[in-house]
Each structure stands twice: as C-alpha cells, then as structure tokens.
Structure 1
Amino acid sequence: MNEIQQDTQPLMEHLLELRRRLVWTLLGIVLCFVAIVPFAQQLYAFVAQPLMSVLPENTSMIATDVVAPFFVPIKVALMAAFLLALPHTLYQIWAFVAPALYQNEKRLIAPLIVSSVSLFVLGMAFCYFLVFPVMFQFFASATPLGVSMATDIDKYLSFILTLFLAFGMTFEVPVAVVLLNRMGVMPLATLQAARPYVIVAAFVIAAIFTPPDVLSQVMLAIPMILLYEVGILVCRMGSKG
C-alpha cells in the first residue's frame, strides 16, 4: 500500500506542475492579447495589405458573414498575441521538462528557444514580404476577364494563417535536424544520406500547404531544402568542435 502511495505522489506532483505551467502559458497569451487587441484593426490592415495592393481600383475584400468584420481582426490579434508570447510559452515547456534533463542538455535549451522563435518569425516574414506579393500578383494577373477579384475576409485570414504556419514550421527544419543529431537519433552520415528523401518530402509538403501553383510550391520547398542543409552544416561544425 505504501509503495502505491509513493508511486502516486510523484505522478500527482507532475500533474500539478503541468497544470501550473499550462496556466502560466495561457496567462501569458491572455496578457499579450489584452495589450494587442486595441490595435486589432491596424493589425488586420497590415495583414491584408499584400492582397489589397494588387486588387483593381475601387475593389475591396468582402464579408459574407455578419460577424466577420468584428471577429476577423480579433483573430488576427489573437495570432499576434500567440506569437508575442511564444518565448514565454517555450520557457514554460522548458521549465516543466528541465528537472528530467542532464546538465549538458540544459545548456542547449536557451539556444534552442532563441533559435526556434527567431526562425519561426523569420519564416513568417519571408512569407509576408516575399511570397505573398509574388503569389497575389500572380493570382490577380490570372483572374479571367469579367471576373471581380473580391475575397471574403474570413477565408483570406484562414488562407494566410495556413501559409504563415507552413512557412514558420518550415524554417524550424535546422532546429529539428540539430536536435535529432544531438539526441543520437540521426547521425551525420544518416542525415547526409537522407537528402534525396528530404527533397521529395519538401515538394510533397509544399504541394499540401500551398495553393496549386508551381511558384508558391517552389518558394516553400526550396527554403526547406536549403534549411536542411544549414542543419547539416551546424551538425558538422558541432562534431568537429
């Protein structure tokens, strides 16, 4: 009976610690959201600008749902709050798993958090400043005569969120490669031998998450392949050190 109680106590302690970390994570997102929500309209205007800049004169996006003009900017503010709170969220994850890590593993956490956040933001910036202008210009030029390009704001938001997530996660490839190598899951030789499979997987993933035009797919697949090479380079430099 005592052994059962001893086994149960650590489990309960872990569950209570997990709950505490989840509460702190949600609190961080909520605080960021409260700070950002007054600027929701400006944030939406910023997010909508790549499409608005290529729409014909006297044309704008539309709202087919009555509540969309209110809720879509709120969703954008929530997305911004999640991004702003991302370092805090990753820290809470680290604080939960840190007791089970060795000292040398703990030293990797700070660079991991910084690189993960930086690369995710870089991926979103790449998507916004480079991919969106080219993609939307292509769509606008491909619009048939007699057809008015008037996109629903809710569908537009869902579309760009998918692409933001796809490019943000794509830019995490070097982090994933380094982690797999450091954990001993994939030695350097295995990573190098996997290059052909990574190229195929990159184009498959690009075909799933981007619109069905070759240009968008290439603009996602090529960075993924290059970032995989960056991960291999970092692993090679680490092994030499």
Structure 2
Amino acid sequence: MPLAEHLRELRNRLAKAVLAIVVVAIVAAFYSEQLMEFLSAPVPTCEAGIQQSSGGNCAIVSFNTLMAPFSVTIKVSLMAGVVISSPVWLYQLWAFVAPGLHKNEKKYTYAFVSAAVPLFVAGAALAYVILPVSIKVLISLTPDGSSNILGLDDVLDFTVRMVLIFGLAFELPLLLIMLNMVGMVTGRRMAGWWRGVVMGVFVFGAVATPTTDPVGMLALSGPIIVLYFVAVLFSLINDKRRQRRNPDAELDDDEASQLDLTPEGVGEVESVTTPRALPGQKTGSEVRPANGYEDVT
C-alpha cells in the first residue's frame, strides 16, 4: 500500500483501540469502589480508628483533597480500561504489523506473546502477594505517638508501580531468549555474564522497587535470577540444535569448508548434450570448439 493508505490503516486501528479502552473504562467506572478496595487491600487499615495507628501498627486510608475522589475514580477506571481491553488493542497492533512479517517472524511473535502474558501475570501476582509485607515493614518505622494517614491516591500509585515493575521485570529472560533465537547472542556468552547479571539484578531490585526494603528487593531479584538461568539453559540447548543443522559450525573463522574437487571427464559432459552451432558458425565436418564458439567471445 502507499504511505497514505498505511496512515489511514493506522488511524483506523488506533481509533478501534481507543474506543475499546473508553468503553471498558466507562463500564469500570460503575465498579470503581470495588477496584479501589482491591488495590488498597494490601494496606493494613485501622479498625478502631486513628488511636490504633499510633506507632505504625496500621494506617488510615483517606482522600486528602477535594478533587481526590474524582481524580482517583478516573485514574482507576482508565487503568482498568487499558488492562481489561488489552486483548483488543493488542490485536489491533498485531493486525497492523502482521502483513509486513514473514512466516517465521510470525511464528516467533506468537511464541513471544504466548510466553510474555503468563510471565507478566506471574510478576504482577507476586507483587500483589508481597505488598502487605512490604507495607507493614514501611509503616512499622513510624515512631510512637505518630499516626499513618495515607492518601488513597498515593496508595493506588504505589500498588500500580509495584505491579508494573514486577510484571515488566519478569520479561527480561524472555528478551534474552528472543535475542538468542535471532542469533544476536549465544548461550555461552550469556552464561559468562552470570556474575554481572546477578549483581545487576540485585541493584535493580533495590532501586526499582518503591518499597526500598529488603523484602521487596529479594522477592523481585530471586525469581528474575532463576528465570535468567532458565533462559541460559534454553539458549545453550538451542545453540546445540543450531550447530547440528549447520555442517560448517565446527570450523574456525580462518578455516575453509571442504570442497568436492573430484574432476569430471570432458567426454562425459559432451555426451550429455552437444551444443548446436550458432548462426554464422562453421558446421558439418569442420572442427569447432565444444562450447559452440570459435573465439574467446
């Protein structure tokens, strides 16, 4: 298609994706209260009032500004619209890109999406499981005589950040596998990186998690390291499979592959097919070259 047709196709795909997000967000607005309760559930709330929160035993979640209820409702609804309608807008993105992909590229894309979704869900679920522990560690630092009054907007931002960071971090091993599948990095080279990767993952877990406590760092770093070694093992197996299919894989860079130097008889070649004379060439019993030409041309 010409450029104008591609732009028109992109506009239509984006319009359908935005429409799906808006429709789901409108529906989610009617259940915004339940969504807020679900996202703020990891925070230990004070059942007996503000007196119970002294010393960091629990926290009181409330709205701090006049516009906070409206802004939080919009934020929660849009977030639910993006997440729940993800199959629709991901399909629109795929429908726009797929016509330009080869068959093997489509196969790799299917495998990538099939593995990426469970990994992201697993990371998000792990973040939601450890959130209560992390929040208890943070509010336990409150000195005696002080109370924790948390804004619901801040609690939701904290929860969403944790879920997104854990979900995206779980995609790192899949990215390494895809780089190995396209031949950009080998499993042996990935295995040689393990010291730096382990150190980098722990630093990333300490910096990326908003909890800044060792519980969140270990909960994020541990599974990523395990998935990294799984990716290394998969890459090593894939490299061996690729070498078995390549007859020249064992050769060095300065070593030539074996050639078939068996000579062929001239008579055997002539007996297969005898070229005819071209116009203007000598024929009959006169001697002419076997290739049908009288000179070097």
TM-score, normalising length: structure 2: 0.71
How far has the Cα of 1:201 moved from its partner? 2.2
Partner of 2:190: 191
Partner of 2:153: 154
The 8 Å contact of residues 91 and 113 in structure 1, kept in 2 or not, is answered as no
| In structure 2, C-alpha distance between the alignment counterparts of 1:33 and 1:235, rounded to whole Å | 41
Q: CA deviation digits over 1:142-200, x for unaligned, max 9?
A: 22111101111111222222111101101112321221111222222222222222222
Partner of 2:26: 34
Partner of 1:217: 217
Partner of 1:180: 179
Match of 1:208, SS state, is helix
How far has the Cα of 1:42 moved from its partner? 0.3
Partner of 1:77: 77
Distance change in 2, residues 1:221/1:194 (3 Å) = same
Structure with a larger share of its residues in helix: 1
How far has the Cα of 1:24 moved from its partner? 2.2
Equivalent AA in structure 2 for residue 182 of structure 1? M
How far has the Cα of 1:55 moved from its partner? 4.2
Seq. identity, %: 35
Q: 1:57 aligns with which of 40, 43, 48?
A: 48
Partner of 2:128: 128
Distance change in 2, residues 1:152/1:22 (3 Å) = same
Partner of 2:228: 228
Distance change in 2, residues 1:140/1:31 (3 Å) = same
How far has the Cα of 1:112 moved from its partner? 2.1
How far has the Cα of 1:45 moved from its partner? 0.4
Give the alignment's Cα RMSD to 1 decimal: 2.1
Q: CA deviation digits over 1:19-47, x for unaligned, max 9?
A: 22222221222222123221110010011
| In structure 2, C-alpha distance between the alignment counterparts of 1:178 and 1:20, rounded to whole Å | 33
User: Mind listing any 5+ residue stretches in structure 2 that lack a counterpart?
Assistant: 51-59, 242-297
| In structure 2, C-alpha distance between the alignment counterparts of 1:192 and 1:18, rounded to whole Å | 41
Equivalent AA in structure 2 for residue 13 of structure 1? E
Q: CA deviation digits over 1:94-116, x for unaligned, max 9?
A: 22222222101112223322322
The 8 Å contact of residues 90 and 113 in structure 1, kept in 2 or not, is answered as no
| In structure 2, C-alpha distance between the alignment counterparts of 1:25 and 1:239, rounded to whole Å | 39
TM-score, normalising length: structure 1: 0.86
| In structure 2, C-alpha distance between the alignment counterparts of 1:220 and 1:183, rounded to whole Å | 28
- Write the mapping of 1:106-145 to structure 2, written as runs, cut at 5 A: 106-129=106-129, 131-145=130-144
The 8 Å contact of residues 173 and 231 in structure 1, kept in 2 or not, is answered as no
Determine which structure has more spread, i.e. the larger CA radius of gyration.
Answer: 2
| In structure 2, C-alpha distance between the alignment counterparts of 1:225 and 1:19, rounded to whole Å | 41
Q: 2:35 aligns with which of 37, 43, 47?
A: 43
| In structure 2, C-alpha distance between the alignment counterparts of 1:66 and 1:199, rounded to whole Å | 46
The 8 Å contact of residues 162 and 209 in structure 1, kept in 2 or not, is answered as no
User: Mind listing any 5+ residue stretches in structure 1 that lack a counterpart?
Assistant: 1-8
| In structure 1, C-alpha distance between the alignment counterparts of 2:13 and 2:100, rounded to whole Å | 15
| In structure 2, C-alpha distance between the alignment counterparts of 1:230 and 1:27, rounded to whole Å | 39
The 8 Å contact of residues 186 and 236 in structure 2, kept in 1 or not, is answered as no
- Write the mapping of 1:86-125 to structure 2, written as runs, cut at 5 A: 86-125=86-125
How far has the Cα of 1:54 moved from its partner? 5.1
Farther-moved stretch of structure 1 (230-239 vs 166-175): 230-239
